[in-house]
């Protein structure tokens, strides 16, 4: 499938890498020729230097042949204009990155309609939503939702004193009931789609699937359930910080934001009258302690510097803040942060990239059982996908134990109306079910792709 990506910054490069890995035919547009040279050294793609809203540039790359045009430049207005021109010149689908909070929900609906956008995407708001979900259930290091939030998949770290250390998965049902499923395990740099004989160890990162109530019950049983964070300190007054603070305040939490730019402080004071704004350098330990770091339920590092986020998050963890979250976009630094003991690291570019991969797969497979939701889990080494099953599918009406699956495939959940099924071998998939699949080393476009 031909896809054009305009704007090759951090998020643009990540999206390009993900879509190339999916096997799509990529064209990259950027006004910086040096960035394009770097891209051609890494990927076998076509590049063009120029203005992505210029009709001559779009004509040169045969935009009318593009199934998808993605505008990810740093300017919302340029992104919208480029998508409008691309659509008028024949691009089948267009997606624009629109970050400015001033484009509220009502205006976005109007803009999408008038510009004929297939989708608008706001990485800052997506990041804030992921952070907010974690702060609502701080025992987890990552939370993904499926089927309109009826089904959850969370990631946990097994601590050295955990009841799960040394537990065989086949024994989980007897100990904790059958309504949760451990569907992936990351141990060091390896990811496993486990069977019943797999034995958990301290240090493992596990992915657990169930509905929200059963996950809460499991966390309480394991004595690791923590209440929603009510006192939150945010380092950095970024757009993500703004969106997160709004969500937290709306939920009744107390929010303190530390920002060293006085103009940004004043701006946020006007927009967030119920948040406490502190003008100062959050890298100074004395300031953090003076502002009550040790009394906080959570600390979230959202500056524009990965290194600063990691180092100050480590300091917050050393001061026994119960939940510490760090925004890190660079993969190598995220890996380093995890090795230094940071359990919860969030990457805006990866969150955004997942959405484009899901959308592209749905376009590629417009008939049959489409990918409705897609998440990268276990640090991107596995995928969790949600499919809606068509009545005529080859996987329906057959007990799961009689289906032959590819290696490293697991059915993590079946959603039938409002009923959530944690499947066993005797369960069957029916038409119109939603099915959650966990996969490693496969690119699934359709539910039938799980069959061997």
- pLDDT cut 70: percent of the chain above it: 97
Give the whole-angstrom CA distance, residue 188 versus residue 381.
12
Does residue 182 surpass a pLDDT of 50?
A: yes
Domain 351-450 annotated CATH 1.10.300.10? no
CATH class of the region 231-321: alpha beta
Per-residue pLDDT for 312 more than 70?
yes
- Identity of the highest mean pLDDT range in 177-191, 201-215, 264-278: 264-278
pLDDT of residue 365: 62
CB 243 within 8 A of CB 125: yes
For the chain, give the number of residues.
452
What CATH number belongs to 127-221? 3.30.70.1450
Out of 13-22, 50-59, 353-362, 413-422, pick the least confident. 353-362
Distance CA 403, CA 396 (A): 10
Per-residue pLDDT reduced to its tens digit, 139-180: 888 888 887 677 889 998 998 888 889 989 888 877 776 578
How big is the chain by its Cα radius of gyration, in Å? Answer: 23
Please report where in the chains the tokens 């990927």 appear, as a residue. Answer: 43
Judge whether 325 and 353 are in contact, CB under 8 Å. Answer: no
SS3 track for the chain:
CEEEEECCCHHHHHHHHHHHHCCCEEEEEECCHHHHHHHHHHCCCEEEECCCCCHHHHHHCCHHHCCEEEECCCCHHHHHHHHHHHHHCCCCCEEEECCCCCCCHHHHHHHHHHHCCCEEECHHHHHHHHHHHHHHCCCCCEEEEECCCCEEEEEEECCCCCCCCCCEHHHHHHHHCCCCEEEEEEECCEEECCCCCCECCCCCEEEEEECHHHHHHHHHHCCCCCCCCCEEEEECCCHHHHHHHHHHHHCCCEEEEEECCHHHHHHHHHHCCCCEEEECCCCCHHHHHHCCHHHCCEEEECCCCHHHHHHHHHHHHHCCCCEEEEECCCHHHHHHHHHCCCCEEECHHHHHHHHHHHHHHHHHCCCCCCEEEEEEECCCCEEEEEEECCCCCCCECCEHHHCCECCCEEEEEEEECCEEECCCCCCEECCCCEEEEEECCCCCCCHHHHEC
Q: For the chain, give the mean pLDDT.
A: 90
- What local confidence, expressed as pLDDT, does residue 367 receive? 44
Residues 6 or more apart whose Cβ sits within 8 Å of residue 88: none
Q: Choose between 452 and 250: higher pLDDT.
A: 250
Query: Band of the pLDDT at 363, cuts 50, 70, 90?
Result: confident
pLDDT tens-digit map of 23-74:
899 999 999 999 999 999 999 999 999 999 999 999 999 999 999 999 999 9
CATH no. of 2-121: 3.40.50.720
Give the pLDDT score at 101. 76
Task: Tell me the domain boundaries of the chain.
Answer: 2-121, 127-221, 231-321, 351-450
**Residue 368 pLDDT > 60:** no
d(CA 342, CA 98): 31
Q: What is the pLDDT of residue 178?
A: 59
Per-residue model confidence as pLDDT tens digits over 319-362: 999 999 999 988 889 889 888 888 899 999 888 888 888 888 87
Summarize pLDDT for 71-110 with one digit per residue, the tens.
Answer: 999 999 999 999 999 999 999 999 999 988 777 666 777 8
Same fold, 2-121 and 231-321: yes
Backbone angles phi, psi at 431, to 5 degrees: -60, 140
Model pLDDT, residue 306:
94
Neighbours of 432 (CB within 10 A): 11
**What pLDDT does residue 397 have?**
92
pTM, entire model = 0.84
Mean local confidence (pLDDT), 129-144:
88
Tokens coding 260: 């060293």
Closest-CA residue to 328 (of 318, 319, 383, 311): 311
Q: Is 205 exposed, middle or buried (0-12, 13-18, 19+ CB in 10 A)?
A: buried
Least confident of 70-79, 110-119, 249-258: 110-119
Higher pLDDT, 342 or 212: 342
Residue 86: predicted pLDDT? 96
């Amino acid at each position: 499938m031909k896809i054009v990506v305009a704007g090759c910054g951090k998020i643009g490069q990540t999206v390009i890498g993900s879509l190339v890995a999916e096997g799509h035919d990529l064209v990259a547009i950027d006004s910086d020729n040096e960035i394009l040279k770097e891209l051609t050294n890494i990927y076998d793609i076509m590049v063009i230097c120029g203005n992505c809203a210029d009709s001559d540039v779009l004509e040169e790359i045969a935009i009318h042949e593009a199934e998808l045009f993605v505008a990810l430049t740093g300017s919302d207005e340029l992104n919208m204009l480029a998508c409008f021109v691309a659509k008028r010149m024949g691009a089948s689908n267009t997606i624009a990155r629109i970050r400015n909070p001033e484009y509220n929900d009502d205006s976005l609906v109007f803009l999408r309609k008038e510009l004929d956008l297939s989708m608008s995407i706001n990485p800052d708001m997506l990041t804030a939503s992921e952070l907010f979900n974690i702060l609502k259930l701080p025992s987890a290091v990552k939370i993904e939702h499926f089927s309109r939030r009826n089904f959850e998949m969370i990631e946990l770290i097994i601590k050295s004193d955990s009841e799960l250390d040394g537990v065989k998965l086949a024994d989980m049902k007897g100990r904790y009931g059958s309504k949760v499923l451990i569907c992936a395990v990351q141990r060091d740099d390896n990811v496993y789609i486990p069977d019943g004989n797999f034995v958990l160890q301290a240090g493992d990162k596990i992915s657990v699937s169930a509905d929200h109530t059963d996950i809460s019950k499991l966390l309480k049983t394991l004595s690791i359930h923590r209440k929603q964070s009510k006192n939150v300190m945010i380092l950095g007054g970024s757009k993500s910080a703004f969106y997160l603070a709004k969500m937290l305040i709306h939920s009744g939490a107390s929010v303190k934001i530390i920002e060293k730019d006085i103009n940004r402080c004043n701006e946020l004071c006007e927009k967030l009258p119920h948040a406490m704004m502190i003008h100062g350098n959050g890298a100074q330990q004395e300031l953090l302690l003076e502002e009550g770091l040790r009394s906080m339920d959570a600390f979230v590092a959202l500056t524009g510097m990965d290194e600063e986020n990691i180092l100050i998050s480590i300091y917050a963890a050393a001061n026994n803040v119960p939940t510490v979250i760090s925004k890190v976009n660079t993969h190598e630094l995220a890996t380093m942060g995890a090795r230094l003991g940071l359990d919860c690291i969030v990457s805006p570019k990866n969150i955004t990239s997942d959405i484009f991969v899901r959308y592209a797969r749905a376009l590629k497979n417009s008939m049959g059982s489409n990918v409705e939701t897609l998440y990268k889990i276990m640090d991107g080494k596995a995928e969790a996908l949600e499919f809606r099953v068509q009545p005529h599918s080859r996987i329906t009406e057959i007990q799961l134990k009689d289906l032959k699956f590819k290696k490293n495939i697991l059915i993590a959940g079946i959603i039938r109306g409002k009923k959530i099924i944690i499947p066993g071998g005797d369960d069957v998939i029916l038409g119109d079910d939603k099915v959650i699949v966990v996969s490693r080393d496969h690119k699934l476009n359709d539910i039938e792709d799980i069959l061997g």
